[in-house]
Chain A
Amino acid sequence: DAGVTQSPTHLIKTRGQQVTLRCSPKSGHDTVSWYQQALGQGPQFIFQYYEEEERQRGNFPDRFSGHQFPNYSSELNVNALLLGDSALYLCASSLGTSGANVLTFGAGSRLTVL
Protein backbone atom coordinates (compact mmCIF):
# COMPACT_ATOMS: atom_id res chain seq x y z
CA ASP A 1 0.00 0.00 0.00
CA ALA A 2 1.70 3.17 -1.19
CA GLY A 3 2.03 5.96 1.33
CA VAL A 4 2.19 9.63 0.46
CA THR A 5 4.28 10.36 -2.62
CA GLN A 6 5.68 13.77 -3.47
CA SER A 7 7.44 15.12 -6.54
CA PRO A 8 9.93 16.42 -7.31
CA THR A 9 12.21 15.43 -4.45
CA HIS A 10 14.65 18.27 -5.03
CA LEU A 11 14.54 21.41 -7.13
CA ILE A 12 16.44 24.64 -7.53
CA LYS A 13 14.83 27.91 -8.61
CA THR A 14 15.86 31.54 -8.78
CA ARG A 15 14.18 34.50 -7.11
CA GLY A 16 11.00 35.62 -8.84
CA GLN A 17 10.29 32.27 -10.46
CA GLN A 18 7.27 30.07 -9.82
CA VAL A 19 7.20 26.48 -8.62
CA THR A 20 4.63 23.68 -8.51
CA LEU A 21 4.93 20.76 -6.10
CA ARG A 22 2.79 17.65 -6.34
CA CYS A 23 1.40 15.18 -3.82
CA SER A 24 -0.49 11.90 -4.03
CA PRO A 25 -2.13 10.97 -0.73
CA LYS A 26 -2.12 7.59 0.92
CA SER A 27 -4.68 5.24 -0.54
CA GLY A 28 -8.04 5.78 1.17
CA HIS A 29 -7.22 9.27 2.43
CA ASP A 30 -9.24 12.26 1.23
CA THR A 31 -7.62 15.22 2.98
CA VAL A 32 -4.28 16.81 2.11
CA SER A 33 -2.34 19.33 4.17
CA TRP A 34 0.83 21.14 3.16
CA TYR A 35 3.60 22.18 5.55
CA GLN A 36 6.79 24.19 5.18
CA GLN A 37 9.77 23.00 7.23
CA ALA A 38 12.69 25.40 7.34
CA LEU A 39 16.09 24.07 8.37
CA GLY A 40 16.15 23.31 12.08
CA GLN A 41 12.47 24.13 12.55
CA GLY A 42 9.23 22.23 12.98
CA PRO A 43 6.67 21.99 10.18
CA GLN A 44 4.59 25.15 9.67
CA PHE A 45 1.05 24.70 8.36
CA ILE A 46 0.35 26.26 4.96
CA PHE A 47 -3.15 25.03 4.07
CA GLN A 48 -5.47 22.04 4.01
CA TYR A 49 -7.62 20.73 1.18
CA TYR A 50 -10.74 18.63 1.52
CA GLU A 51 -13.40 17.97 -1.09
CA GLU A 52 -11.36 20.03 -3.58
CA GLU A 53 -11.65 23.17 -1.46
CA GLU A 54 -9.17 24.99 0.75
CA ARG A 55 -10.58 24.43 4.23
CA GLN A 56 -8.02 26.10 6.45
CA ARG A 57 -5.01 28.27 5.89
CA GLY A 58 -2.00 29.14 7.97
CA ASN A 59 -0.12 32.42 8.12
CA PHE A 60 1.27 32.36 4.57
CA PRO A 61 0.91 35.03 1.87
CA ASP A 62 -1.26 34.70 -1.21
CA ARG A 63 1.83 33.78 -3.21
CA PHE A 64 1.18 30.31 -1.83
CA SER A 65 -1.78 28.65 -3.50
CA GLY A 66 -2.97 25.13 -4.04
CA HIS A 67 -5.40 22.81 -5.63
CA GLN A 68 -6.94 19.41 -4.95
CA PHE A 69 -8.10 17.17 -7.77
CA PRO A 70 -11.03 14.74 -7.84
CA ASN A 71 -8.63 11.82 -7.17
CA TYR A 72 -7.56 13.64 -3.95
CA SER A 73 -4.07 14.45 -5.22
CA SER A 74 -2.90 17.99 -4.65
CA GLU A 75 -0.57 20.70 -5.90
CA LEU A 76 1.18 23.51 -4.07
CA ASN A 77 2.10 26.57 -6.13
CA VAL A 78 4.43 29.32 -5.00
CA ASN A 79 4.76 32.47 -7.10
CA ALA A 80 7.42 35.19 -7.05
CA LEU A 81 9.86 33.05 -5.11
CA LEU A 82 11.93 34.64 -2.36
CA LEU A 83 15.16 33.39 -0.83
CA GLY A 84 13.19 32.74 2.37
CA ASP A 85 11.00 30.23 0.58
CA SER A 86 13.91 27.77 0.61
CA ALA A 87 12.68 24.86 2.72
CA LEU A 88 11.44 21.30 2.78
CA TYR A 89 7.79 21.20 1.73
CA LEU A 90 5.86 18.35 3.28
CA CYS A 91 2.55 16.95 2.18
CA ALA A 92 0.46 15.06 4.72
CA SER A 93 -2.74 13.13 4.15
CA SER A 94 -5.50 11.92 6.44
CA LEU A 95 -9.02 10.55 6.33
CA GLY A 96 -11.23 13.49 7.17
CA THR A 97 -10.35 16.72 8.93
CA SER A 98 -10.62 15.78 12.61
CA GLY A 99 -7.89 17.15 14.82
CA ALA A 100 -7.49 13.70 16.33
CA ASN A 101 -6.49 12.22 13.00
CA VAL A 102 -3.01 10.91 12.45
CA LEU A 103 -1.21 12.56 9.57
CA THR A 104 0.72 10.44 7.08
CA PHE A 105 3.61 12.43 5.67
CA GLY A 106 5.53 12.19 2.44
CA ALA A 107 9.31 12.50 2.31
CA GLY A 108 9.02 16.06 1.08
CA SER A 109 10.18 18.28 -1.76
CA ARG A 110 13.32 20.26 -0.97
CA LEU A 111 13.20 23.67 -2.63
CA THR A 112 16.30 25.83 -2.92
CA VAL A 113 15.86 29.42 -4.10
CA LEU A 114 18.99 31.17 -5.36
Chain B
Amino acid sequence: AQSVTQLGSHVSVSEGALVLLRCNYSSSVPPYLFWYVQYPNQGLQLLLKYTTGATLVKGINGFEAEFKKSETSFHLTKPSAHMSDAAEYFCAVTDPSGGSYIPTFGRGTSLIVHP
Protein backbone atom coordinates (compact mmCIF):
# COMPACT_ATOMS: atom_id res chain seq x y z
CA ALA B 1 0.00 0.00 0.00
CA GLN B 2 1.20 3.47 -0.80
CA SER B 3 1.85 6.10 1.86
CA VAL B 4 3.06 9.67 1.95
CA THR B 5 5.11 11.42 4.61
CA GLN B 6 5.50 15.18 4.70
CA LEU B 7 8.21 16.16 7.15
CA GLY B 8 7.29 19.22 9.16
CA SER B 9 3.72 20.33 9.67
CA HIS B 10 4.92 23.95 9.55
CA VAL B 11 7.80 25.56 7.65
CA SER B 12 8.68 29.20 8.27
CA VAL B 13 10.85 31.25 5.89
CA SER B 14 11.64 34.88 5.28
CA GLU B 15 10.51 36.59 2.11
CA GLY B 16 13.16 36.01 -0.56
CA ALA B 17 14.55 32.88 1.10
CA LEU B 18 14.63 29.38 -0.35
CA VAL B 19 11.52 27.27 0.15
CA LEU B 20 11.99 23.52 0.70
CA LEU B 21 9.01 21.31 1.51
CA ARG B 22 9.77 17.61 1.96
CA CYS B 23 7.79 14.63 0.72
CA ASN B 24 8.72 10.96 0.96
CA TYR B 25 6.58 8.10 -0.27
CA SER B 26 6.39 4.36 -0.16
CA SER B 27 5.35 2.55 -3.30
CA SER B 28 6.20 -0.75 -4.92
CA VAL B 29 6.88 0.88 -8.29
CA PRO B 30 7.67 4.41 -9.49
CA PRO B 31 4.46 6.24 -8.68
CA TYR B 32 2.63 9.23 -10.03
CA LEU B 33 3.49 12.20 -7.82
CA PHE B 34 1.68 15.49 -7.27
CA TRP B 35 1.97 18.69 -5.27
CA TYR B 36 -1.20 20.64 -4.56
CA VAL B 37 -1.60 23.99 -2.79
CA GLN B 38 -4.56 25.09 -0.68
CA TYR B 39 -5.12 28.76 0.08
CA PRO B 40 -7.46 29.71 2.94
CA ASN B 41 -11.11 28.96 2.22
CA GLN B 42 -10.28 27.47 -1.17
CA GLY B 43 -9.99 24.01 -2.65
CA LEU B 44 -6.73 22.37 -3.60
CA GLN B 45 -5.10 23.34 -6.88
CA LEU B 46 -2.31 21.60 -8.74
CA LEU B 47 1.22 23.02 -8.55
CA LEU B 48 2.96 20.30 -10.54
CA LYS B 49 3.00 16.56 -11.25
CA TYR B 50 5.38 13.79 -12.25
CA THR B 51 4.21 10.78 -14.21
CA THR B 52 7.06 9.75 -16.51
CA GLY B 53 10.06 11.29 -18.24
CA ALA B 54 12.22 14.09 -16.87
CA THR B 55 12.60 13.81 -13.13
CA LEU B 56 12.84 17.57 -12.55
CA VAL B 57 9.37 19.00 -12.92
CA LYS B 58 8.54 22.68 -13.15
CA GLY B 59 5.20 23.98 -11.97
CA ILE B 60 3.30 27.19 -11.54
CA ASN B 61 4.42 30.21 -9.53
CA GLY B 62 8.12 29.30 -9.78
CA PHE B 63 7.87 25.99 -7.92
CA GLU B 64 9.68 22.83 -8.99
CA ALA B 65 10.18 19.32 -7.65
CA GLU B 66 12.56 16.49 -8.37
CA PHE B 67 11.64 12.82 -8.36
CA LYS B 68 14.46 10.84 -6.74
CA LYS B 69 13.72 7.13 -6.99
CA SER B 70 16.68 6.07 -4.84
CA GLU B 71 15.52 8.32 -2.02
CA THR B 72 11.77 7.78 -2.62
CA SER B 73 11.40 11.54 -2.42
CA PHE B 74 9.64 14.32 -4.29
CA HIS B 75 10.65 17.51 -2.47
CA LEU B 76 9.16 20.86 -3.52
CA THR B 77 11.39 23.90 -3.87
CA LYS B 78 11.22 27.55 -4.84
CA PRO B 79 14.32 29.76 -4.98
CA SER B 80 12.74 32.88 -3.50
CA ALA B 81 9.64 32.95 -1.32
CA HIS B 82 6.91 35.56 -1.77
CA MET B 83 4.34 36.58 0.81
CA SER B 84 1.67 35.21 -1.53
CA ASP B 85 3.17 31.71 -1.21
CA ALA B 86 1.82 31.38 2.34
CA ALA B 87 -0.58 28.42 2.13
CA GLU B 88 -1.00 24.71 2.91
CA TYR B 89 0.91 22.36 0.61
CA PHE B 90 -0.01 18.73 0.02
CA CYS B 91 2.02 15.97 -1.58
CA ALA B 92 0.00 13.16 -3.18
CA VAL B 93 1.00 9.75 -4.56
CA THR B 94 -0.73 7.25 -6.83
CA ASP B 95 0.69 3.76 -7.15
CA PRO B 96 -0.03 2.70 -10.74
CA SER B 97 0.50 -0.99 -9.94
CA GLY B 98 -2.08 -1.18 -7.19
CA GLY B 99 -5.17 -1.06 -9.37
CA SER B 100 -6.62 1.68 -7.19
CA TYR B 101 -5.70 4.80 -9.20
CA ILE B 102 -6.69 6.93 -6.22
CA PRO B 103 -4.10 9.39 -4.91
CA THR B 104 -3.08 9.25 -1.26
CA PHE B 105 -2.44 12.65 0.28
CA GLY B 106 0.07 13.61 2.93
CA ARG B 107 -0.95 15.49 6.05
CA GLY B 108 0.17 18.78 4.58
CA THR B 109 2.80 21.41 5.38
CA SER B 110 1.82 24.94 6.26
CA LEU B 111 4.22 27.46 4.70
CA ILE B 112 4.62 30.66 6.68
CA VAL B 113 6.41 33.57 4.99
CA HIS B 114 7.75 36.41 7.13
CA PRO B 115 8.39 39.91 5.70
Chain A residues engaging chain B, CB cutoff 8 angstroms = 4, 33, 35, 40-45, 48, 56, 58, 90, 92, 97-100, 102-108
Contacts and interface: CB of A to CB of B under 8 A. Distances in A.
A33 to B, nearest CB: 7
Contacts of B49: 100, 102
Contacts of A42: 4, 90, 105-108
Nearest to B100: A56
Contact of B44 (A45, A58, A100, A105): A105
Contact of B101 (A40, A99, A102, A108): A99
A88 to B, nearest CB: 9
Interface of B: 4, 9, 32, 34, 36, 41-46, 49, 51, 90, 94-96, 100-108
Contacts of B95: 99
Q: Give chain A's interface secondary structure class.
A: loop
Contacts of A48: 102
B21 to A, nearest CB: 13
Contact of B102 (A45, A104, A107): A45
Contacts of A104: 45
Contacts of A58: 102
Contact of A90 (B43, B94, B107): B43
Nearest to B109: A42
A112 to B, nearest CB: 15
A41 B94 contact: no
Contacts of A98: 101
Given A4-B43, A90-B43, 20 more contacts: A33-B102, A35-B105, A40-B9, A40-B108, A42-B4, A43-B44, A45-B103, A48-B102, A56-B100, A92-B43, A97-B101, A98-B101, A99-B100, A99-B103, A100-B49, A100-B94, A103-B103, A105-B43, A106-B43, A107-B42
